[in-house]
C-alpha cells in the first residue's frame, strides 16, 4: 500500500449514517482524488478496524460496498485493492464531440486519420440498392418483419456455409448489430460484478468501456510482436481467477499486431488449464496485404469450446449498416440469447436479408477484392511517407494489413493528447494513445493514424501537417 493509513485520520463519523457507508464513501473519494492510486492495496480488515475503532464486520461491509460499486477488487489470499473506475472521461468526451460536431460541409476539407467520420464510402451503392430491391420483390412485407430475436435463419445458414464450411452449430450463432453490440451481449451474458478480465495493453476503447460498465476487474497484458507477452499473461493467471480474455487476433486495435499461430495455440492451452474463455474479436482479417500472415483464427483451433467468436461486417461489407454475428460454446447459449433479447430484441430484418443475398450471390467476394486493392494502395502510400520522412520522429510495428498504423513518438516534447489539439486546429484528426488504456499515465507518447477515411491525396496532406507539428516539438 503506497498510501499511509494515517490518511484515514481525516474520517469523522456522523451519527445518522451507517459507519460502513461512511467508510466506503471516504475511501471512494480518496480513490477518485488519486490519494489512493489504482492498484494500491487497501488496509487489512483487522488493521483498519483497529485504527478506526470499529467492528471488523463494519470494514467487511465497507469493502463489499466498494467492490459492488467497482472501486475495489479482491485478490484471493492477498487482500483488497483499489480500482479507478473511469479514466480521462473528460478528454474522451471532448475527443468524441470534436468529431460529432463536424458538419457535412466540413468533412471534405478535413483529414480524418481516426476513421470515425463518413467522408467516403467505398461500398458499391448500386449493388446495395439492387440487392434491397431484390429482397423486397422476393419477400414483400415479410422483409420488414423479424421472425427471430437471434437472427434471420437464412443469413445464419449462409454465413455457416460460406465462411465456415457448415462446421458450426447454427443454434450457437446470434446475429448482432455490429461488434460493439456483440462485446456488450457477451459481457452481459458471462460476466458478473468483480469478475476478472484480461485485455491486451493497449486495446480497443469500446471493449474497455463495456467491461468497466459491467464493473469487472481489468488486467492488462502488454502486446508485442506476435501477440501478448505470455510470461506476464500466465503470471496473472496463476495469481487470479480469470473469467475471460478479450483479444483482437488480427490487426489488433490500435497496434495493428496479429497473433502468431504458436501464441494462439498456447493461449488455448492456458484457457483449458486455468479455466477461462477467449472472446475473439475478428476485426479486419479480410484485409491481409502480405503473404507472411495466414488466416487461422482462434475459433478454427478451438477443440475444447473455449472461444466466443465475434465478427462484424460493418467496415468490410456494408459500412454503416451495423451487422455482425457471434458464435459461442453451447454452455453460454441460453445466457447470450437472453442477453441479446434484453439488449434490443431484434436486428433489422431487411438488412439481414440484404446481407444474406449479397453473400449468397458472391458479390461480397468482388467487393473484398476491390477493398484489398484500394486499402493496400493507401497502406503502402502511408508507409512510404512514414519510412521516408518520419524516421527521426516516430517508430511503429508494420501491421502488414488492416486500416491503420500505431505510432510511438521519438524525442518529442509534447504528448499525443496535446498533439491532437494542435492538429485539430489545422483540420487533421488523430486518435491519441490514451484512448486505448485504462490508466491516464499510459499512451502519452503513442497515437493511431488510419486510412479508412483518407485517400492517397489526403494521406499526403495530413502527414505533411503532422510532420510540421512534430518538427516544432522535436528535441
Position 305 pLDDT exceeds 90? yes
pLDDT tens digits, 178-218: 899 999 999 999 999 899 999 999 999 999 999 988 889 99
pLDDT of residue 2: 45
**Residue 321: which of 290, 356, 296 has the closest Cα?**
356
pLDDT of residue 367: 87
Rounded CA separation 73/79 (Å): 9
**Residue 458: which of 101, 108, 117 has the closest Cα?**
108
Contact yes or no for 236/274 (Cβ under 8 A): no
Grid coordinates given for 111: 483529414
pLDDT of residue 319: 60
CB atoms within 10 A of CB 368: 14
pLDDT of residue 93: 79
Tell me the angle at which helices 363-389 and 456-472 cross, rounded to the nearest 10 degrees.
30
Using the Cα atoms of residue 326, residue 328, residue 330 and residue 333 in order, give the sign of their dihedral: negative
Burial class from Cβ neighbours inside 10 Å (0-12, 13-18, 19+) for residue 93 reads exposed
Q: Measuring CA to CA, how many Å separate 380 from each of 111, 129, 287, 333, 467? A: 18, 32, 13, 43, 18
Q: Measuring CA to CA, how many Å separate 277 from each of 109, 173, 189, 309, 371? A: 45, 17, 13, 11, 33
Confidence category of residue 174, pLDDT binned at 50, 70, 90: very high
CATH tag for 89-119+366-472 (out of 3.90.1150.10, 3.40.50.300, 3.30.70.3400, 3.30.360.10): 3.90.1150.10
pLDDT of residue 1: 41
The residue ranges of every structural domain in the chain are 5-82, 89-119+366-472, 137-361
Q: What's the whole-number mean pLDDT along residues 6-28?
A: 88
* More confident: 160 or 40: 160
What is the DSSP-derived secondary structure letter of residue 304?
A: S
The architecture of the domain spanning 5-82 is Orthogonal Bundle (1.10)
| DSSP element (H, E) containing 87 | none
What is the DSSP-derived secondary structure letter of residue 109?
A: G
Confidence category of residue 343, pLDDT binned at 50, 70, 90: confident
Contact yes or no for 185/176 (Cβ under 8 A): yes
**Under CATH, which number does the domain 137-361 receive?**
3.40.640.10
Position 344 pLDDT exceeds 80? no
Highest averaged pLDDT of the listed ranges 94-98, 124-128, 130-134, 313-317: 130-134
* More confident: 388 or 88: 388
Rounded CA separation 98/303 (Å): 45
Q: pTM of this prediction?
A: 0.81
Q: What percent of the chain has pLDDT over 70?
A: 97
Position 110 pLDDT exceeds 60? yes
Please provide the average confidence, as pLDDT, over all residues in the chain.
90
pLDDT tens digits, 308-327: 999 998 877 666 678 999 99
254 upstream amide cis, omega within 30 of 0: yes
Q: Measuring CA to CA, how many Å separate 92 from each of 209, 352, 428, 453? A: 11, 32, 17, 21
pLDDT of residue 320: 64
Range name among 103-117, 255-269, 279-293 with the lowest pLDDT average: 103-117
Using the Cα atoms of residue 405, residue 406, residue 412 and residue 418 in order, give the sign of their dihedral: positive
Amino acid at each position: 500500500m503506497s498510501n499511509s493509513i494515517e490518511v484515514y485520520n481525516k474520517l469523522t463519523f456522523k451519527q445518522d449514517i451507517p459507519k460502513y457507508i461512511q467508510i466506503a464513501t471516504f475511501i471512494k473519494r480518496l480513490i477518485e482524488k488519486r490519494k489512493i492510486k489504482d492498484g494500491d492495496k487497501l488496509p487489512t480488515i483487522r488493521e483498519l478496524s483497529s485504527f478506526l475503532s470499529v467492528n471488523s464486520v463494519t470494514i467487511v461491509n465497507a469493502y463489499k460496498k466498494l467492490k459492488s460499486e467497482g472501486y475495489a477488487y479482491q485478490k484471493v489470499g492477498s487482500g483488497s485493492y483499489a480500482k479507478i473506475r473511469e479514466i480521462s472521461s473528460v478528454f474522451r468526451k471532448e475527443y468524441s464531440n470534436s468529431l460529432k460536431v463536424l458538419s457535412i460541409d466540413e468533412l471534405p476539407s478535413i483529414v480524418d486519420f481516426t476513421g470515425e467520420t463518413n467522408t467516403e464510402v467505398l461500398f458499391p451503392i448500386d449493388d446495395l440498392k439492387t440487392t434491397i430491391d431484390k429482397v423486397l420483390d422476393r419477400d414483400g412485407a415479410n422483409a420488414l418483419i423479424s421472425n427471430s430475436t437471434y437472427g434471420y435463419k437464412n443469413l445464419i445458414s449462409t454465413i455457416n456455409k460460406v465462411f465456415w464450411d457448415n462446421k458450426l452449430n447454427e443454434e450457437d450463432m446470434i446475429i448482432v448489430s455490429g461488434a460493439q453490440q456483440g462485446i456488450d451481449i457477451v459481457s452481459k451474458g458471462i460476466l458478473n460484478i468483480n469478475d476478472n478480465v484480461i485485455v491486451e495493453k493497449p486495446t480497443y476503447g469500446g471493449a474497455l468501456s463495456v467491461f468497466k460498465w459491467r464493473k469487472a476487474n481489468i488486467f492488462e497484458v502488454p502486446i508485442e510482436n506476435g501477440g501478448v507477452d505470455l510470461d506476464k499473461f500466465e503470471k496473472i493467471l496463476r495469481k487470479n481467477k480469470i473469467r475471460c480474455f478479450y483479444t483482437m487476433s488480427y490487426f489488433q486495435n490500435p497496434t495493428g499486431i496479429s497473433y502468431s499461430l504458436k501464441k494462439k495455440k498456447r493461449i488455448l492451452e492456458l484457457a483449458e488449464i486455468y479455466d477461462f474463455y477467449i472472446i475473439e474479436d475478428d476485426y479486419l482479417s479480410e484485409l491481409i496485404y502480405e503473404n507472411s500472415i495466414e488466416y487461422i483464427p482462434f475459433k478454427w483451433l478451438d477443440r475444447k469450446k473455449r472461444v466466443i467468436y465475434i465478427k462484424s461486417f460493418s467496415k468490410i461489407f456494408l459500412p454503416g449498416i451495423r451487422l455482425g454475428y457471434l458464435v459461442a460454446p453451447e454452455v453460454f447459449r441460453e445466457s447470450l440469447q437472453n442477453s441479446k433479447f434484453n439488449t434490443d430484441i431484434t436486428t433489422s430484418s431487411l438488412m439481414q436479408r440484404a446481407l444474406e443475398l449479397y453473400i449468397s450471390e458472391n458479390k461480397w467476394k468482388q467487393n473484398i477484392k476491390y477493398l484489398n486493392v484500394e486499402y493496400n494502395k493507401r497502406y503502402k502510400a502511408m508507409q512510404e511517407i512514414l519510412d521516408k520522412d518520419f524516421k527521426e520522429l516516430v517508430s511503429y510495428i508494420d501491421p502488414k494489413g488492416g486500416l491503420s498504423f500505431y505510432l510511438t513518438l521519438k524525442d518529442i516534447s509534447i504528448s499525443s493528447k496535446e498533439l491532437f489539439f494542435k492538429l485539430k486546429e489545422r483540420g487533421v484528426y488523430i486518435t491519441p494513445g490514451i484512448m486505448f488504456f485504462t490508466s491516464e499515465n499510459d499512451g502519452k507518447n503513442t497515437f493511431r493514424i488510419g486510412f479508412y477515411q483518407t485517400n492517397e491525396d489526403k494521406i499526403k496532406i495530413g502527414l505533411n501537417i503532422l510532420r510540421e507539428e512534430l518538427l516544432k516539438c522535436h528535441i
